[in-house]
Amino acid sequence: MNYTKILFSAALIFNIYIIEAQSIVIKNAMIFDGINDNAFTGNILIEDGVIKKVSKSSIQGDTIIDAEGKIVTPGFIVSNTDIGIVEIGALSVTKDDQSSIYSIGFSIHDAFNPNSTRIPWNRSNGITSAITLPRDTSSPIGGLGSFFTLNGSLQIDSLPDMVMIGRIGGSSSSSRSEMLALTDDILSFASSLDVRDMKSNADINQIINDSPLADYLELQSRDVKALFRLIDDKLPLIIKANRATDILKLLEMKKKYNLNLIIMGAQEASLVAKQISSSNTPLIINPINNIPSSFDELASNINLSSRLEAEGIKLIFSSGGGQNSHLVRQGAGIAVANGMSYGGAIRALTSNVADSFNIARRGLIKPGNIADLVIWEADPLEPSSMPEKVFINGVDMDLTTRSTRLRDRYIKNLDKPNTYRD
Amino acid sequence: MKNYKKLKITTLFIILLSFINISSAANSTPFESTYEPMPQTNTLFRGANIYDGEGNEFLDTDLLIKDGKIIAIGKDLPASSEFTVVDAAGKWITPGIIDIHSHMGVYSAPGVTTSSDGNESTSPVTADVWAEHSIWVQDPQFALALKGGITSFHVLPGSANLIGGRGVTAKNVQRNTINSMKFPNAPHSLKMACGENPKRVYGNKSQAPSTRMGNIAGYRKSWIKAEAYLSRLDEYESKSEEAKELSYKPTRDLELETLAGVLRGEILIQNHCYRAEEMAMMIDIANEFDYKITAFHHAVEAYKVADLLAENNICAAMWADWGGFKHEAYDMVQANVAIVDQAKNGTGCAIVHSDDEIGIQHLNQEASKALSAGLRAGFKITKARAMKWITSNPAKAAGIFDQTGSLKVGKNADVVLWSKNPFSVYALAEKVYIDGAIAFDKEAGIEPSSDFDIGILNPNKNRIQE
């Protein structure tokens, strides 16, 4: 028994070693590379976790996977999710998405759980990486999200604190005008920060003491450091906003503070599409959401994606988050059904995300990029079709999920008592 | 002589009584459906591919609707001048899609507190409330669902309460009163809820129930009261007319009237219940008090008790792939719908629902996902059979299958014409007919706007007008 176990573990280790050391060729694939509108039939060489070669002529390799007639895409990246920091939404003890002490500088990075059941679940649906965001903080700007690959490894593969979030909109407590003013004040404070004054925490405490705003917001040193990075590193800033007027105000602030702005929600973007387009601001939208859920979202329309695409706006697709993050590809399919281009929909799940968030070497199938790839049994935008193979960092991932295990428990070996079932 | 006199008095009595009955009938049945169909278009659909909603597929087949009814389905049906001909070659026709679990109108859009009318969460048993009395008929979500092919939907109260109140079935037509939307002769339902929600809502208020065992005690106490009420009612109603005159009619009680309606089989139980063991317990309670559960809703763990549900002739309304958002939804499997469908040699009653204002617009895609999970699990299920999950099965669970839910001659002409096979994400509903009347026509630009949509963003336009 023990002997078998040892052998098995050794085989496991050995296997991983083999997969990483050996080359894999995916041949005869219909490749949507994440940028071009049309697919081309070709072969992909994966070595050491990296796409080494993409070619129409045949390639030699240790393992050959024939993807004849099947679509291969970059792994999809979800960009508005709580994967890894929330296990069960309605069970607060399994949630690590908020802080009662930190606001602007609150990072969720260290909470990420690679063993979350949400990871294999989304992965088996073709999602290979995620930009995981905290919940809204007390500040209209604040909270840091991180990029994670969904390979489930305890050696977490991530880009920590690579995005800040914020929000503008109607609320039951105070005017949006107050929120906009406070946002402007925070950005003004952030712009005034100078690295030469921030050599130590004592320096930062001095800055906080000198600023009535920082004092009022009870900022901590990590909040101030995050604000400094926002301006100095041009950290991507996702602001949730829907009403047309709010979107315009954000575009003004983007210009004023030279922000790397990404607007999320943007349900009324079609009313100000020209302005968004000329400011080169990417949008994160849920293409399936046509509900006027609030008085900020009256222009909600199922045609939103195709209208914005027509204006040349860079789009990123998201969905309801968490366990439903993978439904983003159904949303992308619905966007295509309602007039968006197929290539545009694929870009909104891949290269547009990588581009907008400065995620290097992902979101595109091209030599030198990290091998995050999916071989689909059929059209990836048909929610009825599923991945046949998912590669993350060049590794052929197991697609078993807790759901498939539970399913098998109730359809196989039914003659056995529960106790004796897998 | 004596007999004659008695007869005369009796006759008088009857005349008098019938007068009372007539006048009381006018007062005693409030909220009846006043639905009338819109102007009907007699139509011949030529050369369509058809899923009839009862498990059959007909390729390149004609469908004829007249005076609001389906009158023929077959090859090369004769055309005549009284029919508008719709070229349906290469397109697909299904019955109108039916949603068994909607909160449209009771949780309207925009989702503001002033329109949040789905849960009377002030007491764990509110069998006296009716969802239809909360419905805002100008909810813009109705029209969005219509464009997804929804012709009838069942609106339920929320799940905060053990017994949450009556549900109602409506036709998806733009009207300015709820009675004129109500599906004629459709039974009411009664919403019950298992598990986390009632115990959380009332536990947080430090009142019963705060545990699952408290939930079970709560249902049973209510049914005991209902049994007593019903027996008083039965006793009164079994009396002769003379005897009735000499006794008191039991005082009306709105809560117990609803529960007694369930015990009499007139009101259908729609039971929110996620976990397998809770569904089994609810079946025990139904047996204890001799009522029937029509459907379990959400039923994330239905696959664990699929045979039990089939044996008891209970439907399960399920998501295609939602789960994990709460502990009792953690054991979601994508093959849930298929496993329920295939239980006991395919006698299970599976329904695909969404419980969502966006999902309701794409129930065809939800069925498609559920089907593909079923095929992946190794079941042999046709698309034609899977179409039952969003047509005939929800119609049965709403008690309206005699009128709609499948394309059978004599039934209501609730029909959707799809641009492509409706199991594809790219399929859009092009025309939707309710009782043979055009409710939505993409090409002709016919689509309802609610009053809410009128002039709200631009005084000269409707909300989502191009």
State which residue of chain A sits closest to B200, comparing Cα positions: A90
- What is the rounded (10 degree) CA torsion for B429, B431, B436, B437? 120
Report whether pLDDT(B159) > 90: yes
Query: What pLDDT, on the 0 to 100 scale, is given for residue A405?
Result: 97
Query: What pLDDT, on the 0 to 100 scale, is given for residue A137?
Result: 87
Length of chain B: 466
Whether the CB of B344 is below 8 Å from some CB of chain A: the reply is: no
Query: What CATH number should be reported for the domain holding residue B211?
Result: 3.20.20.140
Q: Which residues of B touch A386 (CB under 8 A)?
A: 372, 376
Q: A interface mutation test: which of B199, B426, B466 has the most A CBs within 10 A?
A: B426
**Helix (H) / strand (E) containing B230:** helix B212-237
CA distance A25 to chain B (A): 26
Residue B302 has φ and ψ, to the nearest 5°, of -60, -30
Query: What pLDDT, on the 0 to 100 scale, is given for residue A20?
Result: 47
Residue A109, Cα to own-chain centre: how many angstroms?
14
Residue partners of B156: CB distance under 8 A and separation at least 6: B101, B102, B103, B131, B164, B167, B189, B191, B270, B297
Same domain, B395 and B249: yes
Distance CA A395, CA A21 (A): 10
Helices B212-237 and B254-263: crossing angle in degrees, nearest 10, is 90
Whether the CB of B354 is below 8 Å from some CB of chain A: the reply is: no
Work out the average pLDDT over B286-307.
98
What percent of chain B has a predicted confidence (pLDDT) above 70? 94
Q: Which residues of A touch B362 (CB under 8 A)?
A: 288, 330, 334
Q: Which residues of A touch B378 (CB under 8 A)?
A: 411
Query: What pLDDT, on the 0 to 100 scale, is given for residue B28?
Result: 65
Residue B460 forms part of a structural domain? no
Angle at A238 between CA A236 and CA A239, to 5 degrees: 140
Work out the average pLDDT over B196-217.
98
Cβ distance B110 to A297 less than 8 Å, yes or no, reads yes
Cβ distance A288 to B196 less than 8 Å, yes or no, reads no
Residue B341 has φ and ψ, to the nearest 5°, of -60, -40
Report whether pLDDT(A18) > 60: no
Q: Which residues of B touch A403 (CB under 8 A)?
A: 323, 332-334
State which residue of chain A sits closest to B307, comparing Cα positions: A410
Same domain, B11 and B104: no
- The pair of structure tokens assigned to A35 is 């940028």
Tokens 């009522």 belong to residue: B291
Query: What pLDDT, on the 0 to 100 scale, is given for residue B12?
Result: 45
Q: Could you check whether the bond before residue B30 is cis, i.e. omega within 30 degrees of 0?
A: no
Contact by Cβ (8 Å): A336, A345: yes
Quote the ipTM score. 0.93
Same domain, B115 and B20: no
Helix (H, G, I), strand (E, B) or coil at B58: strand
State which residue of chain B sits closest to A337, comparing Cα positions: B426
Query: What pLDDT, on the 0 to 100 scale, is given for residue B463?
Result: 93
Same domain, B3 and B121: no
Same domain, B127 and B15: no
Cβ distance B372 to A386 less than 8 Å, yes or no, reads yes
- The pair of structure tokens assigned to B314 is 């209970």
**Can you list the positions of beta strands (E) in A57-120?**
63-66, 71-74, 76-81
* Residue among B322, B424, B457 minimizing CB distance to A299: B457
* Residue among B109, B425, B427 minimizing CB distance to A383: B425
Whether the CB of B321 is below 8 Å from some CB of chain A: the reply is: yes
Report whether pLDDT(B20) > 90: no
Query: What pLDDT, on the 0 to 100 scale, is given for residue B181?
Result: 98
Residue B60 forms part of a structural domain? no
Residue partners of A258: CB distance under 8 A and separation at least 6: A231, A234
Side-chain half-sphere CA neighbours of A92 within 13 A: 2
Length of chain A: 422
DSSP state of B187: P
Residue B377 forms part of a structural domain? yes
State which residue of chain A sits closest to B303, comparing Cα positions: A410
Distance CA A302, CA B357 (A): 13
Whether the CB of B308 is below 8 Å from some CB of chain A: the reply is: no
Average pLDDT across chain A, whole number: 94
Q: Which residues of A touch B303 (CB under 8 A)?
A: 406-407, 410
Cβ distance A382 to B456 less than 8 Å, yes or no, reads no
Query: What pLDDT, on the 0 to 100 scale, is given for residue B167?
Result: 98
Tokens 């039923």 belong to residue: B299
- The pair of structure tokens assigned to B141 is 């979500």
Whether the CB of B340 is below 8 Å from some CB of chain A: the reply is: no
Query: What pLDDT, on the 0 to 100 scale, is given for residue B27?
Result: 52
SS (H, E, C) A123-186: HCCCEEEEEECCCCCCCCEEEEEEEEECCCCCCCCEEEEEEEEEECCCCCCCCHHHHHHHHHHH
Same domain, B8 and B111: no
Distance CA B361, CA B428 (A): 10
Q: Which residues of A touch B (CB under 8 A)?
A: 87-91, 117-118, 121, 172, 271, 288-295, 297-301, 322-324, 327, 330, 333-334, 336-338, 381-386, 403-404, 406-407, 410-411
Q: What share of chain B is helix, strand, coil (3-state, %, to 5)?
A: 35, 20, 45
CA distance B303 to chain A (A): 7
Q: Which residues of B touch A324 (CB under 8 A)?
A: 321-322
Report whether pLDDT(A303) > 80: yes
Same domain, B346 and B252: yes
- Domains for chain A: give ranges and CATH numbers: 76-362 (3.20.20.140)
Same domain, B11 and B120: no
Cβ distance A337 to B428 less than 8 Å, yes or no, reads yes
Instruction: Give me the sign of the Cα torsion angle A392, A398, A399, A400.
Output: negative
Q: Which domain holds residue B5?
A: 1-30
Distance CA A349, CA A368 (A): 20
Give the pLDDT confidence of B107-127 residue by residue, as tens digits: 999 999 999 999 999 999 999
Work out the average pLDDT over B417-443.
98
Residue B364 forms part of a structural domain? yes
CA distance A132 to chain B (A): 17
Domain boundary residue, one of B413, B432, B459? B413
CA distance A417 to chain B (A): 13
* Residue among B327, B362, B378 minimizing CB distance to A88: B327
Work out the average pLDDT over B39-67.
98
* Residue among B325, B426, B457 minimizing CB distance to A298: B457
Q: Which residues of B touch A300 (CB under 8 A)?
A: 464
Give the pLDDT confidence of A207-217 residue by residue, as tens digits: 999 999 999 99
Residue B52 forms part of a structural domain? no
Cβ distance A407 to B303 less than 8 Å, yes or no, reads yes
Cβ distance B333 to A406 less than 8 Å, yes or no, reads yes
Q: Which residues of B touch A412 (CB under 8 A)?
A: none
Domain count for chain B? 2
CA distance B45 to chain A (A): 23
Angle at A101 between CA A97 and CA A102, to 5 degrees: 70
Residue partners of B291: CB distance under 8 A and separation at least 6: B223, B262, B263, B265, B269
Q: Write the single-letter amino acid at A175.
A: S
Side-chain half-sphere CA neighbours of B68 within 13 A: 9
Query: What pLDDT, on the 0 to 100 scale, is given for residue A393?
Result: 98
Report whether pLDDT(A204) > 70: yes
Domain boundary residue, one of B413, B439, B459? B413
Give the pLDDT confidence of B403-414 residue by residue, as tens digits: 999 999 999 999
Contact by Cβ (8 Å): A112, A132: yes
Q: Which residues of B touch A83 (CB under 8 A)?
A: none
Residue B346 forms part of a structural domain? yes
Distance CA B54, CA B52 (A): 6
Give the pLDDT confidence of A227-267 residue by residue, as tens digits: 999 999 999 999 999 999 999 999 999 999 999 999 999 99
Separation of first and last alpha carbons in chain B: 83
Report whether pLDDT(B2) > 50: no
Residue B132 forms part of a structural domain? yes
Give the pLDDT confidence of A155-173 residue by residue, as tens digits: 999 999 999 999 999 998 8
Distance CA A355, CA A353 (A): 5
Whether the CB of B372 is below 8 Å from some CB of chain A: the reply is: yes
Contact by Cβ (8 Å): B296, B329: no
Same domain, B21 and B159: no
State which residue of chain A sits closest to B419, comparing Cα positions: A337
Give the pLDDT confidence of A355-394 residue by residue, as tens digits: 999 999 999 999 999 999 999 999 999 999 999 999 999 9
Report whether pLDDT(A421) > 90: no
Report whether pLDDT(A1) > 80: no
CB pairs under 8 A between A and B: 119
Q: How confident is the model at residue B24 (pLDDT cuts 50, 70, 90)?
A: very low
Distances (CA, A) of B359 to A141, B319, B409: 32, 10, 30
Q: Which residues of B touch A382 (CB under 8 A)?
A: 368, 424-425
Q: Among B111, B118, B237, which Cα is nearest to B166's?
A: B118
Same domain, B155 and B282: yes
Whether the CB of B423 is below 8 Å from some CB of chain A: the reply is: yes
* Residue among B303, B362, B426 minimizing CB distance to A410: B303
Cβ distance A88 to B303 less than 8 Å, yes or no, reads no
Report whether pLDDT(B13) > 90: no
Same domain, B245 and B326: yes
Report whether pLDDT(B187) > 70: yes
Give the pLDDT confidence of B265-289 residue by residue, as tens digits: 999 999 999 999 999 999 999 999 9
Q: What is the pTM of this model?
A: 0.94
Query: What pLDDT, on the 0 to 100 scale, is given for residue A418?
Result: 86
Comparing A188 with B1, the larger pLDDT belongs to A188
Residue B437 forms part of a structural domain? no
Cβ distance B428 to A403 less than 8 Å, yes or no, reads no
- The pair of structure tokens assigned to A194 is 């100078």
Give the pLDDT confidence of B336-387 residue by residue, as tens digits: 999 999 999 999 999 999 999 999 999 999 999 999 999 999 999 999 999 9
Cβ distance A407 to B334 less than 8 Å, yes or no, reads yes
